[in-house]
Chains A and B, each alone.
Chain A
Amino acid sequence: MLRGALRFGLGPGLLGRGLGTHRGGSTLDWDGKVSEIKKKIQSILPGGAWSPLCDTSHLPPEHSDVVIVGGGVVGLSVAYWLKRLEKQQGGPGSIPGRGTKIPQAAARPKKNYLWYSQASTVLSVGGIRQQFSLPENIQLSLFSVEFLRNINEYLAVVDDPPLDLQFNPSGYLFLASEEGATIMENNVKVQRQEGAKVCLMSPEQLRKKFPWINTEGVALASYGLENEGWFDPWCLLQGLRRKVQSMGVLFCHGEVTRFVSSSNHMETASGEKVTLKRIHEVHVKVDHSQEYQPVECAIVVNAAGAWSGRIAELAGIGKGPPGTLQGTKLPVEPRKRYVYLWHCPQGPGLEAPLVADPSGAYFRREGLGNNYLGGCSPSEEEEPDPGNLEVDHAFFQEKVWPRLARRVPAFEALKVRRAWAGYYDYNTFDQNGVVGPHPLVINMYFATGFSGHGLQQAPAVGRAVAEVMLEGRFQTINLSPFLFSRFYLGEKAQERCII
């Protein structure tokens, strides 16, 4: 009653300013007022987020120990392992929620309405394999598979439901032509030495096991029997987020625009002059506004995926005469890759692994309804423009479909249902990850450049980076071949084939 009378009597012109509302509708809104007062009281009480000077709840904190740029699976994995390894050492993080503050800024170069709409993690095909040629890659993948298998022990949060990664243990099948057969044999030997369960198959055995394959041009095949397959990357991401938030990591959404650093001119033991840089502040700009927050930090982790190159440039990496260590840029750039989902009623059955053709095309089964996912890596000349994530359907018609149909004749009759594109954080130097500190910017650590196998190595890479940050060296898996300094020294850690 009273409410109605007040609303009638006091029109917009009279009470516009009086009640302190600057909004258009200035009628007395008791429900809104009461809830606002409740909110204010809650924030003032201990535990609330009230700051007497101004409301900064939407901004990142002013101080933090570690800032991780990039909130995808690699960045979250680094945060998780940092919190976890630090707890084990009895550091300040032994009380949950306290200890090192690790906010994660998602470095978005353009406007996005969904946080992860461009992140490589969720657009990935989700495969995991141990069939690499470098022992380090195999070890990373083996540990990651063990992490995924025991994910509900690692990422258990009290009272939250367990995670279901939807893992398909169907394995990877790599096909090799005559030229690649010796390399494949050597690779399988290394893989077996490291403990991967891989077997070699002749074309005859291949025909017997998978009658839907056309073995023309195939000299040898390697098939992963255990611990290989594909899973749901979104679920892993959510699981990591949930766990990492319960451990006290803060999430902030914004764009990293600037690093404020100081330089120190020093001399090495042999008398050379070097300039060491140390980052002091990270400026994080809030979306859709000019507001930014300088976050004072001790360490910065560059896990920005396809945009890591830009972050490195902001930190001054690569600004110097070419050929010197100062002038060595981080050679990670975004590369667009397409994934197509099609339906083929006569296609391979339940036993189909992820098949990778020597021509670069690959596919895997998706679900039970005769749907398949696949794509192809373009050659250097055909690289699409990474400016946007638009899908090129002609690429499927001209490059992917003929190769797949040659390998699996049943795919001559198929219908594309859906397609999307995602970025690889492509390392143009040797297509393998960059892990560890930068030699000159002493408090920036890298965890990027995985060129398409970041998702499957993320848990292990997170642990490796956390070890380097806390102990100063790699403890479980030695990733020295993946340090930044290899770009300056020219030592490639090359992998044989990438999908």
Chain B
Amino acid sequence: MGKQRVRSEKARPANQRESLRLVAPVWNGGTSGIRGLSRAVDPEGSQRKGRALLQFLADRFYDVEAVRGYLLQKQVLKVLQKNRSFTYIKERYGPYVAGASFILKQGGAVKFQDKEWMRPNGRGLSGELWKLREVPVEAVDASGCAINYQGLDHLLALRELQSLSLRCCPHVDDWCLGRLHQLADSLRELSLAGCPRISERGLACLHHLQNLRRLDISDLPAVSNPGLTQILVEEMLPDCEVLGADWAQGLKLGPEEQPRDTASSPIPA
């Protein structure tokens, strides 16, 4: 056994600095405040001046601070309200219809087995939804919906779900990914592209989904190392096609090299 040089550091200041550095980009990167998250999806620069004035006032007056705190709370409650559980519908019509009506109410689309895609048509839920009590839901497109950890209950009750798209969902985070193991038997296709709160730590718990064949992890702003993460996820799920960042992203290409095709399947080890 060769000699090993080992260094010890007191009180790990470097570690703290590293973790602070990891936190800092998230803090400063335009996602300040809870409203900032929806701003990441829909930016509005002119609001910033108004917010600076409000911050000035809030620092000096208790009333302004209380009002702002109340408004913040209201936003949070709005999301919670959207994700409340539909117990009545679940008892009466079964988990498939309850899940489908939840998605449709949020603005997503649902596909029952052997049927066409159902989308919300602006006039409430269509009548034929209530007849589909025994028909399992095959695919869900919840792109852009305000689903959070609680609302995921409705999706996890759909035991035959094969395809799930959570593109650009602002409240889906690492904690939600930790729950997806309940769909491990049926889920074949999953898309998480564009979700602002998902990081490589949440992607690590996708290893339960052994039946997954297509996974889209492109455009995840909170992932610190997209290329490396993609390689590690590909190693973790050998039978799955992983769409994501180009692993050569950030590397300098030589004059004769071409950029790799991002949708190519992983090379077997």
User: B267 — which chain A residues lie within 8 A by C-beta?
Assistant: none
Indicate with 1 or 0, residue by residue over A181-215, a CB within 8 angstroms of chain B CB atoms: 00000000000000000000000000000000000
Q: Is A327 an interface residue, CB under 8 A from the partner?
A: no
| A368 in contact with B66 (CB, 8 Å) | no
| B236 in contact with A351 (CB, 8 Å) | yes
CA A185 to CA B14, docked complex, whole Å: 41
Q: Is A393 an interface residue, CB under 8 A from the partner?
A: yes
Within 8 A of A (CB), among B1-21: 4, 6-16, 19-20
Q: Is A470 an interface residue, CB under 8 A from the partner?
A: no
**How many pairs of residues, A versus B, come closer than 8 Å at their CB atoms?**
141
| B33 in contact with A368 (CB, 8 Å) | no
Residue in chain A with minimal CB distance to B19? A232
User: B204 — which chain A residues lie within 8 A by C-beta?
Assistant: 168-170, 350-351
Given contacts A95-B62, A167-B175, A393-B8, contact A234 B19 (CB under 8 A): yes
| B236 in contact with A156 (CB, 8 Å) | no
CA A162 to CA B27, docked complex, whole Å: 7
CA A393 to CA B174, docked complex, whole Å: 35
Taking a contact as CB atoms closer than 8 A, the residue among B15, B51, B202, B232 that contacts A368 in the complex is B232
Taking a contact as CB atoms closer than 8 A, the residue among B11, B15, B201 that contacts A167 in the complex is B201
Q: Is B118 an interface residue, CB under 8 A from the partner?
A: no
Given contacts A149-B175, A167-B201, A227-B178, contact A419 B19 (CB under 8 A): no
CA A59 to CA B220, docked complex, whole Å: 48
Residue in chain B with minimal CB distance to A419? B8
Q: Is B177 an interface residue, CB under 8 A from the partner?
A: yes
Given contacts A169-B178, A350-B204, contact A420 B65 (CB under 8 A): no
User: A-side binding surface: helix, strand, loop or mixed?
Assistant: loop
Within 8 A of A (CB), among B145-191: 149, 174-175, 177-179, 181
In whole Å, how far is A110's beta carbon from the nearest beta carbon of chain B?
14
CA A418 to CA B10, docked complex, whole Å: 10
Q: Is B264 an interface residue, CB under 8 A from the partner?
A: no
User: A234 — which chain B residues lie within 8 A by C-beta?
Assistant: 16, 19-20
Q: Is A415 an interface residue, CB under 8 A from the partner?
A: yes
Within 8 A of B (CB), among A441-473: none
Indicate with 1 or 0, residue by residue over A112-123, a CB within 8 angstroms of chain B CB atoms: 001001100011
| B34 in contact with A420 (CB, 8 Å) | no
Interface core residue of A227, A389, A418 (most chain B CB under 10 Å)? A418
| A162 in contact with B34 (CB, 8 Å) | yes
User: B-side binding surface: helix, strand, loop or mixed?
Assistant: helix
Interface core residue of B4, B8, B66 (most chain A CB under 10 Å)? B8
| B33 in contact with A349 (CB, 8 Å) | no
User: B81 — which chain A residues lie within 8 A by C-beta?
Assistant: none
Given contacts A226-B179, A235-B19, contact A389 B207 (CB under 8 A): no
In whole Å, how far is B45's beta carbon from the nearest beta carbon of chain A?
17
Count of chain A residues near B, Cβ 8 A: 47
Q: Is A291 an interface residue, CB under 8 A from the partner?
A: no
User: B14 — which chain A residues lie within 8 A by C-beta?
Assistant: 418
In whole Å, how far is A162's beta carbon from the nearest beta carbon of chain B?
7
CA A168 to CA B199, docked complex, whole Å: 9
| B232 in contact with A156 (CB, 8 Å) | no
Q: Is B251 an interface residue, CB under 8 A from the partner?
A: no
CA A96 to CA B69, docked complex, whole Å: 11
Q: Is A153 an interface residue, CB under 8 A from the partner?
A: yes
User: B205 — which chain A residues lie within 8 A by C-beta?
Assistant: 169-171, 351
In whole Å, how far is A135's beta carbon from the nearest beta carbon of chain B?
23
| A156 in contact with B6 (CB, 8 Å) | no
CA A229 to CA B199, docked complex, whole Å: 15
CA A122 to CA B16, docked complex, whole Å: 9
Within 8 A of B (CB), among A413-434: 415-420
Given contacts A149-B175, A153-B76, contact A158 B23 (CB under 8 A): no
Q: Is B200 an interface residue, CB under 8 A from the partner?
A: yes
User: A293 — which chain B residues lie within 8 A by C-beta?
Assistant: none
| A350 in contact with B68 (CB, 8 Å) | no
Taking a contact as CB atoms closer than 8 A, the residue among A122, A169, A235, A349 that contacts B202 in the complex is A169
In whole Å, how far is A107's beta carbon from the nearest beta carbon of chain B?
18
CA A171 to CA B206, docked complex, whole Å: 12
What are 28 sample pairs from A and B whose C-beta atoms fall under 8 A apart? A96-B65, A114-B11, A117-B10, A122-B11, A123-B12, A152-B34, A159-B33, A159-B68, A161-B26, A162-B27, A168-B204, A169-B202, A226-B179, A234-B19, A235-B19, A350-B203, A350-B204, A351-B205, A368-B229, A393-B6, A396-B6, A416-B4, A417-B7, A418-B12, A418-B15, A419-B8, A419-B9, A420-B9
Question: Given contacts A96-B66, A235-B23, could you give 12 more A-B pairs where the C-beta distance is less than 8 Å?
Answer: A97-B62, A158-B65, A158-B68, A160-B33, A161-B31, A164-B23, A166-B23, A166-B201, A170-B201, A232-B23, A396-B6, A420-B11
